[in-house]
Amino acid sequence: MLSFIGLGLWDENDITLKGLEEARKCDKLFAEFYTSKMGVSIKKIEEKIGKKITILSREEVEDGSMLLKEAEKHHIALLTAGDPMAATTHVELRIRAIERGIKTRIIHGVSIVSAAASLLGLQIYKFGRVVSIARPYKDYFPLSPYEAIKENAKMGLHSLLLLDTTPAPMTANEAMEILLEMERRTGDGLISDDRLIAVVARVSSEDALARAGYIKDLIRKNFGGTPHSIIIPGNLHVVEAKALVKIANAPEEIIP
C-alpha cells in the first residue's frame, strides 16, 4: 500500500491526527521537500511520528520505481509539505501505483493555496490559476508566469505566486524584482511600482506574517524568514479590501 500524507505548512504539529496515525502504521516512511519546504528539520518530524524518514531526491520521486517496488511488499508512505496531491508528480505516482494493483490512500494536509487566502482575508473562490516564479538562469528567463497573471487579472481574479525553493527559498523581495523585470521585457502595464500586492511569510507558524501594499513600498521591506508567497489581488470585494487594510496594513485608500 502507498499512502500520501500531507504534513501541513510549518512544523511537526501541522500534521493531522489522521495523518499521524497513518504514518505510525506504515512499515517505511519516505519524504520529499523539493516541491515545498517546511520550517523545521526532518528530525523534529521523525520525533513526532516515532519513525525514521528517508528523504528522497526529485529524481527518485519522479522516477518512482523504488517507491512502487517498496509499496508492492510493504505499507509505505510518501510525506510531503502542504497537501500531497498539489503536485502533478504525486498524482502520476498514484496512477502508476493503481495500475500495478497497489492500494493507495490520501491523507490531506493544510495547503498554502487555501491558507494564504485565509490569512489575508481573501475569498478563495476568487483565485485564478496558481503561478510559480522560478529564478532566471543564464539565458533562461520565462515570461509564462507573467502571462498567467495577466489572464487571471483579465477575469478579475487573484493570483497566488509560489516562489522557487532551489537552491534556497526565494524571498518575496527577489520575486518582486523578477516581476518588475518581466514587465520591462513585456511592457504590458500589468506590474508597476504602484501595483497592489500582498506578501505572506511562514504561514501556520506563530510569527506568520501578512503584509499588503504597493510594490514600491514593499520591495525593500524585511519579511523575515522564508517561506514567502505573493498574492496579486484582482478585483477586490469591499470586505476583502477591508481585510487587507485591517489584517495586512494595506493603505486605506484601497477600500472602495
CATH number for the domain that contains residue 60? 3.40.1010.10
Q: State residue 199's pLDDT score.
A: 98
* One domain, residues 82 and 140: no
Distance of alpha carbon 64 from alpha carbon 58, whole angstroms? 10
Domain that holds residue 84: 2-107
Instruction: Note whether 118 and 75 are same-domain residues.
Output: no
Q: In this predicted structure, what is the pLDDT of residue 250?
A: 98
Residue 40 shares a structural domain with residue 81: yes
The beta-strand segments (E) located in 147-190 are 159-163
pLDDT confidence of residue 24: 98
Q: Peptide bond before 227: cis, by omega within 30 degrees of 0?
A: yes
Q: Which helix (H) or strand (E) holds 30?
A: strand 28-32
Return the closest-CA partner of residue 72 out of 95, 116, 40, 104.
104
Total-model pTM? 0.93
Grid cell at residue 185: 521585457
Residue 31 pairs in a beta bridge with: 55, 79
Average pLDDT per block of 10 residues along the chain, 256 residues long? 97 98 98 90 97 96 97 98 91 97 97 96 97 92 96 98 93 98 95 97 97 98 97 98 98 96
In whole angstroms, what separates CA 138 from the centre of its chain?
25
β-partners of residue 199 are 211, 230
Domain end position, chosen among 107, 138, 161: 107
Question: What is the predicted pLDDT for the residue at 166?
Answer: 86
User: Which of 92, 107, 122 finishes a domain?
Assistant: 107
The number of domains in the chain is 2
Point out the domain boundary residue: 59, 76, 107: 107
pLDDT for 228 equals 97
